[in-house]
Amino acid sequence: MKYLAIVGLIGLIFFVSNGLSQDPDCPVYKLMMASVEKCKGQLSEENAKLMEKNPGVENDEINCFRGCVLVGMGVMKNAKIDIENLKELMKQSKSPTTAEAVVTVARECKKQSEVSNNECEVAGSYTKCVVALKDKAEKAGA
């Protein structure tokens, strides 16, 4: 249960809405699953439940888990969001429109997310920005 909740939340947070195919044959999905598998031991049951209730929730453990997943996927390196790697990754997406949207959101969030050399802090800021943009788009009816 915890594992499935984490996967769903990662999809929401990193790939906005519909940004990640749940198709097990999708290369992006496979990479995400491998990264979550590698990092899941960093997240307590309590924090997994917090994330399930509120995808934008933050604390040190959650932010470090998110950082681990971002690094594992190649989306973050040395506490920097790697737009070029993200673009390459999203070329494997089954939806070019969604891939473009994911890269656009990442570009918007990159500068305000790179607040320190600490990957946990960067991941937390990045997630906060992505969730805020997603909420804004939903309110606008996009």
pLDDT in tens, 83-116: 999 999 888 877 788 788 888 889 999 999 998 9
Residue-wise pLDDT tens digits, 14-48: 543 344 556 666 777 788 888 888 998 999 989 98
CB atoms within 10 A of CB 20: 25
Residues 55/13, Cβ–Cβ less than 8 Å = yes
pLDDT of residue 76: 95
CA–CA gap between residue 119 and residue 138 (Å, rounded): 28
CA-nearest of 130, 126, 107 to 19 is 130
Q: What is the third-level CATH fold of 3-141?
A: Recoverin; domain 1 (1.10.238)
Distances (CA, A) of 36 to 50, 103, 137: 17, 21, 27
- Return contacts of 20-24, CB within 8 angstroms, 24+ apart: 20/93, 21/93, 21/94, 21/95, 23/94
Rounded to 5 degrees, φ, ψ at 80 are -125, 135
pLDDT of residue 37: 87
Question: Percent of the chain having pLDDT more than 90?
Answer: 37
CA–CA gap between residue 121 and residue 142 (Å, rounded): 29
